[in-house]
Amino acid sequence: MKIDSHVHIFPDYRTKGLIRWMRKAFPQHPIPLGYTWRQVVEDLRNEGIERFFSFHFPLTPSETGFLNRFALKVASQTPGMVPFFSFHADNSHLSDLLSWWLGRESIFWGVKLHPFVQGFDPWDERLFSAYEWLEEHGYPLFLHTGFDDLYGKSMPPEKIAGILKRFPRLRLVVVHMFYPRFQEAFALLEEGEEVYLDVTNVFSYIDMDWPTGVRKALDLDWFWDEIEGWSHRLMFGSDHPAGAGTLREVYAVLERWGLSSHAKINLRGATALRLLKSVGYPLDPSDLS
The answer to whether 140 and 170 are in contact (CB under 8 A) is: no
CA dihedral for 24, 26, 32, 35, sign (positive or negative):
negative
d(CA 137, CA 132): 9
Nearest to 153 by CA among 122, 184, 183, 126: 122
Using one digit for the tens of pLDDT, what is the confidence trace for 65-112?
Answer: 999 999 999 999 999 999 999 999 999 999 999 999 998 777 899 999
Delimit the domains of the chain by residue range.
3-279
**H or E segment to which residue 223 belongs:** helix 220-229
Closest CA to 233 of 177, 161, 164: 177
CA-nearest of 48, 46, 43, 60 to 2 is 48
**CATH architecture designation of domain 3-279:** Alpha-Beta Barrel (3.20)
Per-residue pLDDT of 213-263, as tens digits, reads 999 999 999 999 999 999 999 999 999 999 999 999 999 999 999 999 999
Share of the chain above pLDDT 70, in %: 98
Whole-structure pTM value: 0.97
Residue 271 CA to residue 233 CA, distance in Å, equals: 6
Q: How far apart are CA 123 and CA 157, in angstroms?
A: 11
